[in-house]
Structure 1
Amino acid sequence: MYARRLAALLGLAALPLLTVADMRHEYLTTRDRRALASGIVYDGQIASSYDHVIIGGGLAGLVLASRLSEDSNTTVLVLESGDTGDLVRSQIDVPGEAYYSSLLGTTYDWQYMTVPQPNVGNRALSWPRGRLLGGCTAVNGLYMVRPSALEFNVWAQLQSGAAGADDWAWGSMFAAMKKSENFTAPSAEVQQAGAIEYNVQSHGSSGPLHTSFPGFIVPAVGNWTETLDWIGVNPSADPDGGQGWGAFIATSSINPDNLTRSYSRSAYIDNLPPRPNLAILPNATVTRLILAQNGSSVRATQVEYAAYDGAPKLTVGVNKEAILAGGAVGSPHVLMHSGIGPQSILQPLGISTYVNLPGVGQNLQDHLSGEVVFSTTAETAAQLHGSEGANGTSAFMSFINSAIAYPNITDLLGDYATTYQSDLLNNLTWAAANLVPSTDPTIIAGYKAIYQSQANTILPSQVGQVELLFGLTGTSFGTNTFSVQAALQHPYSRGQLYINSSNPFDHPVIDPGYLTHPADIILMREGLKLARTIGQTYPLNGIVTGELSPGNSTVSTDAEWDAWIPGVVGTEYHPSCSCSMLPLSEGGVVDPQLRVYGTSNVRVVDSSVFPVEFAAHLMAPTYGLAEQAATMIRQFWNEGYVPTNGTTTASAGFPSQTGSGSSNSSGTGGAKSAALPTVEGKSAGLLAGVVALAVLLAL
């Protein structure tokens, strides 16, 4: 314990302790040398300013860091609030540990909570978010499920013809998602056992992110697509090619070479060659952007950060851009503390309003999920894990839940679908007047635009309205059980996120507004009914011995379902849309170039910019978003030229703006280096710290 404290004082908390004998042979482990080479800063020493300062080292932040630093004359800094994840790398790397030894609820999780939700049993619900390098990609369930082409096209259409809108349509995003991907087909044995179908032409083959399938399949998975077929939800032979509906076994972010998790750090950072123009600083919570008036807009000149609440606040200069990549919670949180957001929220807190932007934190959406639980005679992954435990093979521990289905509105409602759509449209005025948390007319206009796109375009299409998941990794009822989860994909309810404290270390207020629209309650109910039907349908019913929750005798009528649902549903971990890309007149926060309205050099690049929720998990589209954003930013600063062969080039674009060097805004704390430290310099500093630690431990 004392050694750990000493290590922390020396800035080495993220590193394993080394003995003197270790140092005689090899003073840094292979992993630590790799981290140093790829830019992770362990000693806290960074330069006074950088061209691009990225706030958040999660999915999008590390993609941007990797891509932007390909230009050797462009300097890039990532500030990540969480730790490196080095000490829990085994939990991260083993896919199955996402279920059996999760990092959720630990210090590697932000542990956000919603406010009590009146329509969900007045419960405050957990909203986990990854807080370490890699963000949620280091702790999630590994699903690589893409939205359908129609959903991306609706996103583009919602931009009302603004320049760059087509960058977010299917054609562009399909290419960007493939660019991120290195797909490997399943083994013949796994493919047959799981009845897996795929189209290799819909996948990328040379991107950094490995996608594949587990090395082991629980036999029950082989029943999934056939069972769905019997109830009219057809199997999909190409779920990643723009038609993401029907039933299938999803691709996962798994490296098939060693059956480990492939996530934004391992894919985009760990294998980089030495780049002295890239620095990634963990344990650095961004507290605000420091802004200055720049003509009719404002400009970020510095980024302020601190190691923890109460620690000295430091600043780093921004030469070109500040890029927010903090996710659906983090990005609006930082914007508001910086003075960009609804003036009605900021002014009472004493925060100067640089840009009165009502849309920041509004249009908040999430996938709400429930489950039906069955007892079974078949082997489940949870049962096998209980018998094999830590001795389980890497193939077995690569098994994750990946059987999925997206039934459309007709699958769910049958002939009632037309009436449901008509009722939705007839209630638009009521919904806009009563369900939008903000009274700002631009926010209400944006809600109406999205509502109409959902009801008129997405709803009557084949796009899924509910997601069904086959859960074989255990339930609260024991290992000899499985679940079929149902999650609402296109909610008509809306929430908001805002700050109620001037302390940036205080969590924001999160109010998803779950089930405030009656249409959402109907689809949630019908999705769970379909989940029950799956357990009663051949061939899956052959392994079912009973329904444990909610139980046929307990819940059967619509009224009984509606009374049961509020007490059991929770997040599917897909919050988005809180910094929506929409016209300013419709409550938008960013334009199609991802620039924050009213600013000249602030962008947001993460899932908060989606204006609509997708019938998909958000990892795949966010990788596409980040790739697209990196290309866009490089083109802007390199006057349209981006190398296509992956080699580094000198930046031919706008000159860096200087004069915004680093300072310590609290007047205390150590000085920073005046230039980018070299990789060798970091290694030498780290070695000195390790030697000092060894001496102290010997006393």
Structure 2
Amino acid sequence: MSPNDNYTHIIIGAGSAGCVLAAQIVENPNSNVLLLEAGPDCKEPDVPHGIQDIRRVPMKGQSEIFDERLDWNVQVELPNGGSFDVPQAKVVGGGSSINGGTALRNSVHDCEEWVRLGNEEWDWSSVEPVYRALERDTVKGSQGKHPLTRTDVNDTGKIQKAFVEGAIECGLPWSDDLNETYAQGVGASPVCREIDRRVSVANTFIDPLRGRRNFQLLANAPVDRVLFSHKRATGVVLADGRQISASSEVILSAGAIFSPAILQRSGIGPAGLLSSHSIPVVQDLPVGANLSDHPCVPLVARPKKDAYDEDDFSLQMQARWSSGTREDAVDLQLVCFSYLYSAPPMQLSHEETAAASEKAPRGLGGSVSGHVAGIGCNINKPLSLGSVYIRSRKPEDQPVVDPRYLTTSPDRVCARQAVRLAYRIMQSEAMQQQLGPIINLTRDVVDSDSLLDAWIHGQYTSTYHFTGSCRMATRNLGGVVDQTGSVYGIQGLRVADASVIPTIPAANTMWTTVMFAERIGKFVRDCQRSSSTLEEEAVNRY
């Protein structure tokens, strides 16, 4: 990269959103796009090949094969004290390079919530065609860019097949397409793969751009903050102090944890927070509020002999349904996993053990070490909202992440319902043939609300689906950005990643994030901004 390069657009973060944004913006021949990524390029020769194999998820706590360089390893606060670590991808392609690859659409109910927050351009009739254009899906007959594959139930591993049989025995119907509007039941997960190869957004959207004259990717380049002239974004400062200018726009796509942190370090956020860190206030906005995540309660067991083959896929089948606590919301999800691996705990001294006990050893495999299988119970429309905020001005200091998991009564009701159904499925004859006893959960606990609440409180973890911390909404409803991703009161600055999703979708968030990035990328490409933002900027200028 030359300091004289004349970039029109700088995108911060080459994850599931940033890669899609870049592909859209470079279609404008007058653009010159720089895509920045804090982690390595997925094409670097020493990046492990595990990110290409979708049979397992190469994250800490899920597989023996993972690379700590590709993980932010975010510390997440628990509501009653303590914390636990959550994987967050730090590599070109973001989560799509190392996650399970599930590509579930958001629901119609989600869109209705978004419209009520002032986003009439994000109703179902507006977003469904975007999904259709993105997807290369034989089930739907669509011919988009990105491949989605569903495994035939007859071709699944023994544990996955047993899950389907147990779910149907417990009353869930079979669903041919879990991405069909209003679909509920048990079925095959739509996954971004071709045979056994994980297909990331980097493969689909960035690989064709490599070598183009109006595109440059700079990996291993974490960003400190955005630069401004008055109230216009003019470039960025990297963590190493280098400054890079953008003549048109700076776009944050660093995710729901790091985009708000960059904004706050840049002077955009709650005035009280910024003042406490002696950061001059550029714009007072509720950046970092409304953080949401899907809590997950794992039920795990040891696979019996010959139940699992090394060539089996870990994630193939799942179930979605409505708890009935929220009208029309498909708010509960069970995901069957055939393979999770947690390393045995290190040998610690008595003093180290006492200190470590304050940090809950949570993960999808619980505190069990070695290979386990089972069901993850996801609460997909939580009402509990938290926050993310910087702890210092230093870019190397991770922000404080406090999702406030299960702090509302409806969320706890949903958690009980999901765990009870998962328990019944795991006790079914089909699953009992493949798995040993459920670890650390008994019938007397399942039958008691108070005992089950206490058990869930000690077991729940994250699905890594953080959203909402730079909410897209009208300003009076807590908005940080307008319907085109433009930051209120600032020229030349947008956010386009999971942080802008107004309310958390009732689905794994990667595919919704890609959809938002695809639409906002077109707004940027076509130089489109909302009328409300333009009016506000005019008022601020005079």
Short-chain TM bin: 0.7 to 0.9
Q: Equivalent of 1:370, from 294, 297, 303?
A: 297
SS at match of 2:319: strand
Q: Which residue of 2 aligns with 1:263?
A: 200
For 2:75 and 2:140, the matched residues in 1 are separated by 40
Write the distance in 2 (CA, Å) between the matches of 1:500 and 1:133.
26
Asked whether 1:322 is paired with 2:285, we answer: no
The answer to whether residue 173 in structure 2 is matched with residue 234 in structure 1 is: yes
Q: After TM superposition, give the deviation of residue 515 of structure 1 in Å.
A: 1.9
Alpha carbons 1:379, 1:480 under 8 Å: kept: no
The DSSP-based 3-state class of the residue aligned with 2:375 is strand
In structure 1, the residue matched to 2:457 is: 566
Residue type of the alignment partner of 1:285: P
Whole-angstrom distance in 2 between the partners of 1:292 and 1:45: 22
Are the counterparts in 2 of residues 49 and 318 from structure 1 also a CA contact under 8 Å?
yes
User: Where does residue 346 of structure 2 map in the other structure?
Assistant: none
Contact 1:363/1:496, CA 8 A, preserved across alignment: yes
In structure 2, the CA distance between the partners of 1:470 and 1:93, relative to structure 1 (3 Å rule), is same
The correspondence for 2:54, drawn from 95, 105, 109, is: 95
Matched, 1:406 2:301: no
Matched, 1:206 2:163: no
Match for 1:303 among 230, 233, 236?
236
Amino acid in structure 1 at the alignment position of 2:226? L
- 1: CA distance between counterparts of 2:408 and 2:65? 33
- 1:637, distance to aligned residue in structure 2 (A): 6.2
Separation of aligned partners in 2, 1:379 and 1:574 = 33
Matches of 2:222 and 2:21 in 1, distance apart? 18
Q: Deviations over 1:192-230 (max 9, x none)?
A: xxxxxxx424xx3131x2221469620332343343233
Deviation at 1:92, TM superposition (A): 0.9
- Identify which of 56, 59, 78 aligns with 2:35: 78
| Whole-Å separation in 2 of the counterparts to 1:606 and 1:103 | 25
Going from structure 1 to structure 2, the CA distance change for 1:617 and 1:330 (only over 3 Å counts) comes to same
Write 1 or 2 for the structure with the bigger share of strand: 2
Distance 2:5 2:371 in 1: 57
* Equivalent residue in structure 2 for 1:353, among 281, 289, 293: 281
- Write out aligned runs for 1:83-162 (5 A): 83-85=40-42, 86=44, 87-98=46-57, 99-103=62-66, 106-118=68-80, 122-159=81-118
Query: Per-residue deviation at 1:100?
Result: 3.1
| Number of the residue aligned with 1:460 | 327
CA distance in 1 between partners of 2:395 and 2:454 (Å): 39
1:173 aligns with 2:127: yes
SS in 1 for 2:77: coil
> Does the CA-based 8 Å contact 2:472-2:481 persist in structure 1?
yes
Q: 1:534 to 1:369 in 2, by over 3 A?
A: same
Instruction: State the SS of the aligned residue for 1:221.
Output: helix
Aligned to 2:414: 523
Q: Structure 1 residues 478, 512: closer, same or farther in 2, change over 3 A?
A: closer
**Which residue, 170, 189, 193 being the options, matches 1:250?**
189
- Give the 3-state SS of the residue equivalent to 1:473 in structure 2: strand
Contact 1:374 1:549 (8 Å CA) reproduced: no
- CA drift of 1:542 comes to 4.6
CA 254–581 in structure 1, closer or farther in 2 if over 3 Å, else same: same
Partner residue, 1:584: 475
**TM-score, with structure 2 as normaliser:** 0.86
Superposed counterparts of 1:366-515, under 5 Å:
366-377=293-304, 379-381=306-308, 384-385=309-310, 396=311, 399-410=313-324, 459-461=326-328, 463-474=329-340, 482-515=373-406
Find the aligned partners of 1:102 and 1:333 in 2 and give their Cα distance. 30
Alpha carbons 2:27, 2:525 under 8 Å: kept: no
TM-score normalised by structure 1 residue count: 0.68
The answer as to whether partners of 1:323 and 1:603 remain within 8 angstroms in 2 is yes
Matched, 1:224 2:181: no
User: How big is each residue's C-alpha offset from its partner over 1:627-654, in whole Å with a ceiling of 9 and x where there is no partner?
Assistant: 111222222269xxxxxxxxxxxxxxxx
Give me the whole-angstrom Cα distance separating, in 2, the residues matched to 1:342 and 1:141.
35
Deviates more, 1:174-183 or 1:499-508: 174-183
The superposition leaves residues 581-634 of structure 1 with CA deviations (integer Å, 9 ceiling, x where unpaired) of: 111011110111111111121111001011111110011111111111122222
Q: Where does residue 448 of structure 2 map in the other structure?
A: 557
Q: Does structure 2 retain, via aligned residues, the 8 Å contact 1:328–1:607?
A: yes
Matches of 1:89 and 1:637 in 2, distance apart? 40
Q: Pairwise CA RMSD of aligned residues?
A: 2.3
Structure 1's 340 and 230: CA in aligned 2 closer, same or farther, altered over 3 A?
same
CA distances 1:61-83 after superposition (whole Å, capped 9, x unpaired): 11111221122221101111111
SS at match of 1:404: strand
Q: Which amino acid aligns with 1:176?
A: V
Contact 2:55 2:315 in 1 (8 A): no
SS of the residue corresponding to residue 40 of structure 2 reads coil
> What amino acid is the match of 1:110?
W
Preserved contact between residue 380 and residue 482 of structure 1 (Cα < 8 Å): no
Q: Kindly provide the amino acid, as one letter, of the partner of residue 443 in structure 2.
A: N
Secondary structure at 2:92's aligned position in 1?
coil
TM-superposed deviation, 1:89: 4.3
1:371 CA drift (Å)? 1.7
Structure (1 or 2) with the greater helix fraction:
1
Distance 1:484 1:630 in 2: 36
Cα distance, 1:566 vs. partner?
1.5
Is contact 1:470-1:484 (8 Å) kept?
A: yes
SS across alignment from 1:547: coil
The match for 2:507 among 616, 638, 644 is 616
> What do the CA deviations read for 1:378-405 (whole angstroms, capped 9, x no partner)?
7444xx22xxxxxxxxxx36x2312111
Q: 1:320 to 1:480 in 2, by over 3 A?
A: closer
- Give the distance between the partners of 1:179 and 1:378, measured in 2 at CA: 44
Distance 2:307 2:209 in 1: 39
Distance 1:625 1:335 in 2: 19
Q: Secondary structure at the match of 2:17?
A: helix
For 2:538, the equivalent position in structure 1 comes to none
Q: Give distance in 2, aligned partners of 1:272 and 1:587.
A: 36
Aligned partners of 1:255 and 1:100: how far apart in 2? 21
| CA spacing shift, 1:600–1:481, aligned 2, 3 Å | closer
Q: Say how many residue pairs are matched.
A: 497
The 1:478/1:56 distance shift into structure 2, 3 A limit, reads closer
The residue aligned with 2:11 is: 54
Q: Counterparts of 1:331 and 1:544 in 2: how far apart (Å)? A: 42
Aligned partners of 1:508 and 1:552: how far apart in 2?
40
- Kindly provide the CA deviation profile for residues 468-495 of structure 1, in whole angstroms up to 9, marking residues without a partner as x: 1112114655778531221111112111
Pick the structure with greater CA Rg: 1
The answer to whether the 8 A contact 1:148-1:244 is kept is no
Question: Aligned residue for 2:362?
Answer: none
Higher mean C-alpha deviation, range 282-291 or range 228-237:
228-237
* SS of residue in 2 equivalent to 1:236: coil
| 1:560 Cα deviation from its structure 2 partner | 1.2
Give the SS at the match of 1:564. Answer: helix
Report the Cα offset of residue 102 of structure 1.
4.3
Q: What amino acid sits opposite 1:536 in the alignment?
A: Q
**Which whole-Å CA distance do the structure 1 matches of 2:469 and 2:417 have between them?**
28
Instruction: Work out the CA distance in 2 between the residues paired with 1:146 and 1:611.
Output: 15
Structure 1 residue 262 displacement after superposition:
0.5
Distance 1:492 1:551 in 2: 28
